[in-house]
Amino acid sequence: MKSLRSNIYTGFAIIVALLIGVGLIGYLGSKQLSDSSAAMRKVSSTDAAIAKINRDVTELQLRVARYMATGHRSLQSDIIALNDHLIDQINQQVEAQVAPEMQDLFLRMSVRLPAYRSHFNSVIEERRLRADLVQQQLPNQSQVVHERLNKLQQSLPVKALRQANEAAILLCKSRFLEAERLLLRYYIAASVPLVTDASKQIELAIESLTPLKSEGEAEPIRQQLIRELKKYKRLGIRAVQATRSYLYLVNVVMAGEASEVTYFSTRLRSVSESQRNQIADKIAVTTTNIRRATGIGICIAVALGVLIASRLGTLILRPVTALKETFRQLAAGRTVLTIPESERKDEIGEMALAAEVFRQRNVEQRALLEKAESLAIELASKATELESSNAELDSFAYVASHDLKSPLRGIRQLAAWIQEDAGHLLPEESMQHFQAMQSRVQRMETLLEDLLNFSRIGRQDTQPEQVDLNELVNDVIELTDNPNQVAIGVPEPLPVLQTIRVSLEQVFMNLIGNAVKHNDKHENGRIDILFEQQDESYVFHFRDNGPGIEPQHYERVFQMYQRVGNTDVDGSGMGLAIVKKQIESHRGSIHLDSNNGDGVTFTVVWPESLV
């Protein structure tokens, strides 16, 4: 099984890859759209150029038609300029086009207009020539012919023949006039028969001069006239040729070139339209594809996202939830038998292992708790037993001390009576034994008294009372046997407190008495009682400059019948045990500090209020 991290990373990687894929599709699509738009702009620009070329070709044809109708010279330069402009436009497009079909069409178109211009130059020339012939040369020649006719008529020498000659001249003249008329008609409305007829009339005019009897100077004039008539015919035919020529050039050759240009522009428009449609289709397809691909990509991404999330949920949430519940139970200290998902090899498996450790500790802890509980129960039982035993012991001590006091008192009384009655009878040695016995009885009484006091502690049901500590301390000092006059320093004022007088009095009495008793400094001995009030207690320090106590005896000094230090000092060894019991029976505490040989300080913490 792969780790959760690798599963999560793989999931994210797939989603990110899909998002990148969708983004890439979007980018490529938008790039394609941008390219298509650029191509569309180019096609539109070509369209505009084609439309302009078409308009210009139409305009060119119109101007040529106007020129044909009017012959205005200004139109010539206009036409040539427009033609050159068209050539430039087409050549620009040849250069600009990249699509072979478009380029080929523009190229084929481009060869047409230079030819058009060349033909138009011929048209100008022929038109000029025709105008010159029709407006200048032919009228002049006509005048020359008429002059020659008149001259010939005048030069005819023989009167007898004049009539016939004049008839011939008139015939010639009339045929020439007819030829002129026919030619003029041709120049107005061109037609082949008019030329044929005019030509024929001139030939007839020449022929009509044949019967002319011209002699002398008339003959050269006649020959001259024939030459002039032929010249007229030649000029007339030349004008006809010029007319035919420019009519042919304009109506056939130039119109043919223009029609090809129009054809190519139509083809170009069609190709351009087809390109535009293709681009539009491409844009539509691209848009649809982008939309579809993006939609599919997003759907896949969402689906995969959901799938991955649910998969990760299955992989993580369910076991984590189960583990959380397990942990919660473990945290609540419940015993869990099995840890879920512990068989997994991933992070959850590791968590499960951690939980297993937790569970095991829980089990151990429970076992410990159970053991502790049983120990506590056992302890309580023991305590109870101990209390019961203590109580029995106290009771026993009390009873024993109390009950033993009476016989002991009897013994002491009996011994006194014996001493009184038979003391003088007894040998010295027995008398010494007898006194020793009395001393022992005395000591036993003290021991019993102390034991009784000790056992009484905590037994009296005494109520607290208002105690003026100043009085109490003074009373205690006064009652204390202080043969060496050890100085006792008491702070003033001491508080007045609500407490058990007897208990506190015994504590003060024992501690001061002990300090006085054990002080080895005699008249230089000193005891200082210090006082301070803490939170809820009163703290008293009893500091002396006595011999001090070695640390190893700190505990022992508080035990019953234990004596430390000078054993010559009178005492039962119960004083401090009583003090400790008194203090602790009121939830106070006592401890001591001693600098070896430099006295000892007992510190007593006495509760402010008694429980």
Partner 1 sequence: MPTTRRTFLKTVAATAAGSGTTTSAAPFGFVRQKRTLRVLGTHVTLQEPLRQQAQRDLGIDIQFEPGGSAQILHQASTRPKSFDLYEQWSNSIKVLWQAGSIQAIDIKRLDYWNEINDLTLTGKLTPEANIGAGDAPNKLLYVQKNGEIGSNPTGKISFLPYVHNVDSFGYDADVVGKGIPYETESWSWLLDDRWKGRVALVNEPTIGLFDAALAIQASGRASFEDIGDLTTQELDKLFRILVELRKAGHFRGVWNSVPNSVDLMERGEAVIESMFSPAVFALKAKGTNCIYASPKEGYRAWHGVMCMSSATEGANQEAAYEYMNWWLSGWPGAFIAKQGYYISNPQRSRKSLSDAEWDYWYDGQAAKQDLLGTDGQVVVKQGEIRDGGSYTKRFSRIAVWNTVMNNYEYSLPGWNEFLSAG
Residues in touch with partner 1 (CB under 8 A): 61, 126, 190-193, 195-196, 199-200, 203, 233-234, 237-238, 240-245, 247-253, 255-256, 258-260, 262-263
* Least distance between partner 1 and beta carbon 112 (Å): 10
Q: Which stretches of 488-542 are DSSP H helices?
A: 501-518
* Least distance between partner 1 and beta carbon 262 (Å): 7
| Closer residue to partner 1 in complex, CB, 263/396 | 263
| Closer residue to partner 1 in complex, CB, 196/462 | 196
* Least distance between partner 1 and beta carbon 259 (Å): 4
| Closer residue to partner 1 in complex, CB, 155/199 | 199
Q: How far apart are CA 605 and CA 433, in angstroms?
A: 47
* Least distance between partner 1 and beta carbon 281 (Å): 24
* Least distance between partner 1 and beta carbon 241 (Å): 5
* Least distance between partner 1 and beta carbon 71 (Å): 16
Tell me which residue has tokens 């002080």.
Answer: 519
At 151, phi and psi to the nearest 5?
A: -65, -40
Q: How far apart are CA 575 and CA 587, in angstroms?
A: 19
Whether 500 and 464 have beta carbons less than 8 Å apart is answered as: yes
Residues 6+ apart with CB under 8 A from 268: 46, 50, 102, 105, 106, 109
Whether 541 and 530 have beta carbons less than 8 Å apart is answered as: yes
Beta bridge partners of 604: 540, 590
| Closer residue to partner 1 in complex, CB, 123/467 | 123
* Least distance between partner 1 and beta carbon 122 (Å): 8
* Least distance between partner 1 and beta carbon 192 (Å): 5
| Closer residue to partner 1 in complex, CB, 263/531 | 263
The helix/strand/coil state of 604 is strand
Residues 6+ apart with CB under 8 A from 440: none
* Least distance between partner 1 and beta carbon 203 (Å): 6
| Closer residue to partner 1 in complex, CB, 53/240 | 240
Residue in 239, 258, 242 with CA at minimum distance from that of residue 64: 258
Q: Report how far Cα 55 is from the mean position of its chain's Cα atoms.
A: 59
The helix or strand, by DSSP H or E, that contains position 566, with its residue range, turns out to be none
The token duo for 367 is: 């076992």
| Closer residue to partner 1 in complex, CB, 126/341 | 126
* CA dihedral over 115, 121, 127, 130, signed as positive or negative: negative
| Closer residue to partner 1 in complex, CB, 253/316 | 253
> Within 13 Å, how many C-alpha atoms sit on residue 276's CB side?
14
Residue in 504, 516, 514, 515 with CA at minimum distance from that of residue 572: 514
* Least distance between partner 1 and beta carbon 251 (Å): 4
Residue burial 139-173, b: 16+ Cβ < 10 Å; e: rest:
eebbebbbebbeebbebbeeeeeeeebeebbebbb
| Closer residue to partner 1 in complex, CB, 193/489 | 193
Neighbours of 331 (CB within 10 A): 11
| Closer residue to partner 1 in complex, CB, 186/327 | 186
Q: How far apart are CA 136 and CA 142, in angstroms?
A: 10
Whether 557 and 576 have beta carbons less than 8 Å apart is answered as: yes
* Least distance between partner 1 and beta carbon 111 (Å): 11
Q: How far apart are CA 206 and CA 233, in angstroms?
A: 11
| Closer residue to partner 1 in complex, CB, 43/258 | 258
* Least distance between partner 1 and beta carbon 114 (Å): 14
The helix or strand, by DSSP H or E, that contains position 157, with its residue range, turns out to be none
The helix/strand/coil state of 190 is coil
| Closer residue to partner 1 in complex, CB, 138/250 | 250
Tell me which residue has tokens 């320090």.
Answer: 541
* Least distance between partner 1 and beta carbon 74 (Å): 23
| Closer residue to partner 1 in complex, CB, 237/530 | 237
Q: What is the DSSP letter of 529?
A: E
Beta bridge partners of 466: 498
Q: How far apart are CA 105 and CA 266, in angstroms?
A: 10
| Closer residue to partner 1 in complex, CB, 250/509 | 250
The helix/strand/coil state of 376 is helix
* Least distance between partner 1 and beta carbon 101 (Å): 11
